[in-house]
Structure 1
């Protein structure tokens, strides 16, 4: 297969992969951020301490993290078909990608928020600050560099998941690698998809690291 034949396929595959990863990242942020914060707030000694709620959320998150993605994708086929009307293609792949990423990101959020000095939380509470104030004024701003690093890790994990989703009919670079690289023995095409994935992952990592460094410099300058 010549480069002129590969290029349009790689371009569309890259677009489909970025589409899947982009939407799944958005849903992971929307679902994982509050879950992670709740895991901290409902723990012992925290503003919303509630052992039952904390354990229920923890169990749900643990179950979601323990399932291999390919199994999760297959198990969610009926749900995916109900939500988007089909179980194949990039849009369908967003559903299991998002559901798999939410608990993954939630644990990273929990870890980041737990690193915030508890004394700052107690100081805000002593001044009459509500739980909402504690979250918005202390926990999230103080944990922001770690949250960005966690989101970067999540995006990179989603890129790998999207390749697996592609192998199961999700589209994107994974489907191209399987269809052309493996089934048709086009080693050059397989190498090209690997290179594109490496470039995407590297770009995401560099962007995330750059934002984290910028946030740390801002903290030092304002501190």
Structure 2
């Protein structure tokens, strides 16, 4: 029989106390309301759902971006990798916050001692593996997302382009012209010499099938992007 002290309790500490000793199923069921209140359960489930939604957005963005032809990018206010970085940043902490109050009490309620030990060890291994994978993706997307210096420029008739700075040693630019509401295709690229291309100071005007992009002293005619 397990005696549970319900003073100032921490779910993880309680989990460590109860997992090593056998607990009759009846005692386990009686202890559940003390270990996991309804409000704690609701908050845990809410954060778990947020994490699941973020993971779904991350997967959909990655799959959709990979399916685009070479030279095309997805841009919906932010570039695809930046949106994936936001989804990853929201999803990881939400999963940790949501599962923290749920997992330890539920694992601790397993009445058979050796099963509880094995399950608890598997949970910890899974948490460490998921945290390592999340940290790797976080670092990779952080480097990619914030190396993409770009701005969206819209003409009066609604047509738009994405002006992206590329290169560090040899500054240059790449211009993506809108193909569909959130898809842009590479139209042209060029070299801006020894100085950084002014992506944040541009205007756009329509002239027939082409667009005229003006960025400080640069005036560039942008032809339609190949689909």
TM-score, normalisation: structure 2: 0.30
Give the structure with the higher percent strand: 2
| Higher share in helix | 1
Structure with the greater relative contact order (CA < 8 A, sep ≥ 6): 1 or 2? Answer: 1
Relative to the length of structure 1, the TM-score reads 0.31
Structure whose alpha-carbon radius of gyration is higher:
2
